[in-house]
Structure 1
Amino acid sequence: MTSKPLRIGVVAGEPSGDVLAAGMIAQIKQQHPDAIIEGIGGDHMIAAGCHSLFDMETLSVMGLFEVLSHLPAILKIKKGLIAHFEKHPPDIFVGVDAPDFNLRIEKALKQKGIKTVHYVSPTVWAWRESRIHNIARATHCVLGLFPFEEQVYQKYQVPYRFVGHTLADSIELTPAQQPAREALGLDLTAPVMAVLPGSRNGEVSKLLPIFLATIDCVLQQKPDCRFVIAAANQHRFSFIDSFLKEHAEQLYRQGTIVLTKGNARQAMIASDVILLASGTATLEAMLCKRPMVAAYKLSAMTYKVMQRLYKAPFFTLPNLLANKQIVPELLQDEVNPENLSAHLLELLEGNNEALIHTFTEIHQTLAQNADKVSAQAVLDLIPHV
């Protein structure tokens, strides 16, 4: 008598979660090639062997109030997922980031007797620490990316495992710049700036016009500078391509601005400095050992709420990991072309050896073979495996 194949539910809500989950799925598939893995994922998860039941793009929304217009579609997906997993119960369910969505799924499934894991700790160490009680009710274990998170879970006796970050495992300690420039067709001698306006539609809509104006400011001081804008996916590529054709046609046509899709890491490695939306991209930029300026703009209402609730001293991952400001981080009205270009030019012209040394030390801390460790942590919770 042959045993049934493993059934594992996995849901990621955005591109960064798609990457994390894909590595974990690939490791599970190595041990259990016939495992049935389904849920919601992007291109990376699908390539690793996950069947996506819904389009991940629907969940890629950021902000407390920005999500409201998407709520009917999100609630429909939530209902559909729970119904599917009740009909086809997985041996375990893994919610990858997207806590406002995934913790609700996890709680519903846990109440049905299904094991659940939440991969990527919600920012309970930064705001709304009381959320940890809901996390405990929703999941059997939290897999965390960063070592500083563990103390808050120990405080509340919630199962937690530090697994490191898959990006730290996949990026070399000293990435080679020249091959990346050659692959993107960039000048090997001119200064290069990578520009990453975000992975979500709302981020790009807010930041791209400001980032484009910042490019103009930099060009006034560095006319030989070249810019490579990295689009997170086809949705973002199409939007940015249209925007550039309308607002920066000459720079785009003559190759001063290059647009690439799905090559964010290559663009970062090829660069001398990076302008980017705050988020997981700042971690990747740090691991690529490139100086950066991070920016973010929230809706006015979300910002007012976050001013009251957010207690961490920084909002970018490099600064949080270093426990001090090592990269410029600009928020709301600070995010303007004059401020951004001033910081970028300073980094272009300065000595960044101490910064790169700090980046390297953090990189070594985060390199824990995360894909393998997270996969084993999930399999360890399945009784019959």
Structure 2
Amino acid sequence: MRIGVVAGEASGDMLGEALMHAVRQHYPEATFEGIAGPRMQALGARSLFPMEALSVRGYWEVLRALPRLLWIRWQLRRHFLSHPPDLFVGIDAPDFNLGLEKALKEGRIPTLQMVAPTVWAWRAERLPGIRAAVSGILSIFPFEAPIFEQAGIPLTYIGHPLVHRLPPPDRAQARAALDPTWSGDWIALLPGSRMSELEYHGRLFLETALRLQRDFPQRRFAVPLINAGTRDYFQRLLREPAYASLPVTVFEEDATRILAGAEVALVASGTATLEAALLECPQILTYRLSGLTAWLVRRKGVKGWVGLPNIILGRAVVPEILQEQATPDRLAEELGNLLRDAERRAEMRQSFQEVRRRLQADTMGALVRGVERALTHAP
């Protein structure tokens, strides 16, 4: 079996890793090619373009990268139509993948979208286009099924692979593993995985750390950056005189060990907020976009929460400090309040245990069922 894939960022790479493991349990000869990150490539996936080329968020940011993105999508379309895979799976990145999936489905290639586009939050007008593009959806959230099934789009709920990949940690052991020579506490800083996110959040997070250091001098800061480009960018910021004295350690890895060992975390909105919840790390969520993107989002009338833990639970558990409100003073104040309040941190951890319970599922089995369903009902 030959499967085409496109993963657009680190979280998609983790989901793709789970997909590859599940499929190969039943189809050990299965091969994967398209766009893959380091986790999928470690399992043998062939990446035709670097995953980082798709790691763009925000209207203005996408506009700047649009010629490159369209060229990559055209190349992938040509490749897969001339060498048809048995199945194509787009992993998240719906703005990129849906157009590609539509072209492939019209070419009689079965298509799956892993991670449903967020029509439940906004952009419900996308449903007809999604129906035209995909043979089915692999959904990671339980509340999505009625929306898509009512629109005539086959959906398989797979749970979230991170639930199985990230068991509740031994925090003391994880903290010690970060640096055996340091017995104090860590504050995790997760500014994002995309370069555009680092450009908006890098200095913001470091300025926040400067303010926290004044009130909590016995804490150190841990920053996980697995991508070489974002890591180099952040380390250049750290060399600036204003930040040279900050006790910051940059880890060349994903966020798992850091969130498992940290006392609290400042997290850029995205899958990392769910990772922090599953690892029971109390957190403050923040995000900044370009002024144009923020204006367009508001014009769409987007309401409700943006953080996955809050969306899953249907209540505000994690504070969300967004856009103009996201200043170093405000973020430092929120984190400081959380650091001073052990009872609040314990309540947050209890809520995060509920997040885990809600996302439990037989993910490996469901992934295979979703794949076989798409193959059986091929266009």
When the two structures are superposed, what TM-score results if normalisation uses the length of structure 2?
A: 0.95
The Cα offsets for residues 159-205 of structure 1, whole Å up to 9 and x where unpaired, read as 11211111111111x31112322322166642310001000001111
For 1:14, which of 6, 9, 14 is the aligned residue? 9
For 1:62, which of 48, 52, 57 is the aligned residue? 57
For 1:28, which of 23, 27, 31 is the aligned residue? 23
- Name the aligned partner's letter for residue 251 of structure 1: S
Deviation at 1:310, TM superposition (A): 4.3
Residue in 2 aligned with 1:205?
A: 199
Tell me if structure 2 keeps the 8 A contact 1:8–1:90: yes
Cα distance, 1:246–1:369 mapped onto 2, change above 3 Å = farther
The Cα offsets for residues 193-220 of structure 1, whole Å up to 9 and x where unpaired, read as 0001000001111111011111111111
The Cα offsets for residues 138-173 of structure 1, whole Å up to 9 and x where unpaired, read as 00111111112222113323211211111111111x
Larger mean Cα displacement after TM superposition, 54-63 or 226-235: 226-235
For 1:357, which of 335, 350, 373 is the aligned residue? 350
Tell me if structure 1 keeps the 8 A contact 2:138–2:158: yes
Aligned residues: 376
Written as runs of structure 1 = structure 2, the 5 A alignment for 1:143-162 is 143-162=138-157
Residue in 1 aligned with 2:262?
A: 271
Deviation at 1:27, TM superposition (A): 1.9
For 1:380, which of 346, 364, 373 is the aligned residue? 373
Tell me if structure 2 keeps the 8 A contact 1:126–1:310: no
Residue in 1 aligned with 2:221?
A: 227
Residue in 1 aligned with 2:232?
A: 238
For 1:289, which of 238, 263, 280 is the aligned residue? 280
Give me the whole-angstrom Cα distance separating, in 1, the residues matched to 2:99 and 2:241. 42
Give me the whole-angstrom Cα distance separating, in 2, the residues matched to 1:294 and 1:147. 23
Give me the whole-angstrom Cα distance separating, in 1, the residues matched to 2:362 and 2:256. 19
Give me the whole-angstrom Cα distance separating, in 1, the residues matched to 2:117 and 2:376. 26
Written as runs of structure 1 = structure 2, the 5 A alignment for 1:116-127 is 116-127=111-122
Written as runs of structure 1 = structure 2, the 5 A alignment for 1:157-196 is 157-172=152-167, 174-185=168-179, 189-196=183-190
Q: Secondary structure at the match of 2:375?
A: coil
Residue in 2 aligned with 1:3?
A: none
Residue in 2 aligned with 1:341?
A: 332
Q: Secondary structure at the match of 1:10?
A: strand
Tell me if structure 2 keeps the 8 A contact 1:178–1:188: no
Deviation at 1:275, TM superposition (A): 0.4
Give me the whole-angstrom Cα distance separating, in 2, the residues matched to 1:248 and 1:28. 50
Give me the whole-angstrom Cα distance separating, in 1, the residues matched to 2:86 and 2:244. 55
Give me the whole-angstrom Cα distance separating, in 2, the residues matched to 1:247 and 1:371. 49
Written as runs of structure 1 = structure 2, the 5 A alignment for 1:296-311 is 296-311=287-302
Query: Structure 2: where are the runs of 5+ without partners?
Result: none
Tell me if structure 1 keeps the 8 A contact 2:35–2:51: yes
Deviation at 1:136, TM superposition (A): 0.4
Query: Structure 1: where are the runs of 5+ without partners?
Result: 1-5
- Name the aligned partner's letter for residue 253 of structure 2: G
| Residue 39 (str. 1) matches residue 34 (str. 2) | yes
- Name the aligned partner's letter for residue 339 of structure 1: R
Residue in 1 aligned with 2:323?
A: 332
Give me the whole-angstrom Cα distance separating, in 2, the residues matched to 1:318 and 1:29. 31
Q: Which runs of 4+ in 1 moved over 3 A?
A: 186-189, 247-250
Tell me if structure 1 keeps the 8 A contact 2:206–2:243: no
Give me the whole-angstrom Cα distance separating, in 2, the residues matched to 1:198 and 1:300. 18
For 1:52, which of 47, 50, 75 is the aligned residue? 47
Tell me if structure 2 keeps the 8 A contact 1:20–1:371: no
| Residue 97 (str. 1) matches residue 92 (str. 2) | yes
